[in-house]
Amino acid sequence: MKKLMALLLSAVMLTSLVIGFASCDLFGGPPVVGLICLHGESSTYDKNFIDAFEAACKAKGLSKSQYRIVVDVPESNKCYEEAANLADMGCKAIFADSFGHEQHMIKAANEFKDVHFFHATGTQAKVKKLNNYHNAFASIYEGRYLAGYAAGLTLNTMKNKAVNNVFKVGYVGAWTYAEVMSGYTSWFLGLKAALDNGYSATMEVQFTGSWYDEQGEKTAAENLITRGAVLVSQHADSMGAPTACDNKGVPNVSYNGSTGKNTLVAYSKINWEPYFKKMIDNALNGTEVPTDYCGSFTDDSVQYEIGPKAPSGAAATLERIENELKAGTRKVFDTSKFTVNGNRVTSYEADINGDYEPDTGINVIKTANGVSYFDESNASEFRSAPYFDLEIDGITLLNRVYESDENGNPIIIT
């Protein structure tokens, strides 16, 4: 019996030793960086972050024990709890991917001064002035413009679908926030720019009141198609809209990745891998990361691809337009290309600080290369997250959703 007990004790000690080794450098070390996601990989939005995070960790030589991914974290105090837990585990850099995570990440940043917290689509980094809190986004409006341009090229092959030379298209949006409004407007402007002379387009937008609601997104797309949309795009995170389009044989422009469907015209996405590499360098070496950062085509943070439904020659055309955007000779929000209530926009005080109120005295209309334009996502002067929220002519909002009730149900305004 004593011999048996001795063997069992030895086994326990050996197990403890192995567990101890697993948390030290011999097996990769404790976690260095962490990622907090609103949903899991079923959401195209979150999967895009997860894939980029894992790729960046691998590129930087981190083992699986040196990074953590936490999924299905709601926009509530649960985010703070997960951020605090990752900090307690030893993470030196922690990223959260959803707009509503921001206040909880700021709370964690105030508590864990030696940990850096990073947040996508946020608005408060410059306002709070914390040395360890950062916002990041990318000029995805340029990627959406190119995806819209691909849509316009596709419509040029569908002239039998135009009514009196006017195409009607649809867009499924999550919330009536600047991020979504900037996205659908840039997409629509790209589409219109690609149309052959003599043709124009109008667009209807339907909001779901959720970043991820597969059935809601599918129903919204079906409604838009029933109302006459001959092509549909989206800023929502499931396969609902692409599935509805595929079922109806309607061309679709997706977001964050390929749908794998024959009706796919194009997609655009933010490639977060370059930024995650900066974040890892910060965690490992103390490398400085800007308070507010906006990636672009230049650092490969903005990407797009064309699908099987795009016409031949589209790739070369989009490359030419992309080069014009890079050179600054073409501006997505060129104020000569749209009107608001029949008037050209000459000045605009946008909501820069993220408090849902215009920031008086700040004009975001700029001029460069002879072009007057809305200066979107200017992180160095304003902020990286979108603030374009103008409702331009030619786009009709079928409903609006700004917030949820106490039970989490969207408050829909029709």
Under the banding of pLDDT at 50, 70 and 90, the label for residue 5 is very low
The lowest-confidence range among 22-26, 175-179, 217-221, 362-366 is 22-26
User: What is the rounded distance in angstroms from the CA atom of residue 312 to the CA atom of residue 295?
Assistant: 29
Mean pLDDT of 343-357: 94
Measure the CA–CA gap between 316 and 252, rounded to whole angstroms: 20
pLDDT tier at 408, thresholds 50, 70, 90: confident
pLDDT digits (tens, 9 = 90+) for 114-165: 999 999 999 999 999 999 999 999 999 999 999 999 999 999 999 999 999 9
pLDDT recorded at residue 136: 98
> Residue 13 above 50 pLDDT?
no
CA dist., res. 361 & res. 369, Å (int): 24
Mean predicted lDDT score pLDDT of the chain: 93
Report the C-alpha gap between 242 and 289 in whole angstroms: 37
Task: Average the pLDDT over 184-188 and give the result.
Answer: 98
User: For residues 193 and 156, what is the distance between their CA atoms, to the nearest angstrom?
Assistant: 11
Q: What is the mean pLDDT of residues 274-299?
A: 97
CATH class of 140-269+311-413: alpha beta
The CA distance from 167 to 161, in Å, is: 7
Is residue 26 scored above 60 in pLDDT? no
**Hey, where are the domains in the chain?**
26-139+273-295, 140-269+311-413
Confidence at residue 109, expressed as pLDDT on a 0 to 100 scale: 98
> Under 8 Å CB-to-CB from 374, ≥6 apart: which residues?
333, 335, 345, 348, 364, 365, 388, 390
Q: How many CB atoms are located within 10 Å of the residue 349 CB? A: 14
Token pair 């992180």 in the structure block, residue: 379
What's the whole-number mean pLDDT along residues 21-47? 79
pLDDT at residue 19 tops 60? no
Per-residue pLDDT at 340 exceeds 80: yes
Residue 272, Cα to own-chain centre: how many angstroms? 10
26-139+273-295: CATH topology is Rossmann fold (3.40.50)
Distances (CA, A) of 291 to 131, 132, 147: 8, 8, 29
Sign of the dihedral defined by the CA atoms of residues 322, 323, 324, 325, in that order: positive
Q: Do domains 26-139+273-295 and 140-269+311-413 have the same CATH topology?
A: yes
Determine what percent of the chain is predicted with pLDDT higher than 90.
Answer: 89
What pLDDT band is residue 8 in, cutting at 50, 70 and 90? very low
User: Does 1 score more than 90 pLDDT?
Assistant: no
| Mean pLDDT value of segment 319-337 | 97
In whole angstroms, what is the distance from residue 217 CA to residue 242 CA? 9
pLDDT at 188 over 50: yes
pLDDT at 28: 64
pTM of the model: 0.91
Which of residues 357 and 25 earns the better pLDDT score?
357
Instruction: Report the range of poorest mean pLDDT among 14-23, 91-100, 318-327.
Output: 14-23
CA-based radius of gyration for the chain:
23
Q: What are phi and psi of 224, to 5 degrees?
A: -65, -40
Evaluate whether 117 touches 132 at the Cβ level (below 8 Å): yes
Least confident among 1-5, 69-73, 186-190, 228-232: 1-5
DSSP string, 71-115: ----SSHHHHHHHHHHHHHT-SEEEE-SGGGHHHHHHHHHH-TTS
Give the pLDDT band (50/70/90) at residue 369. confident
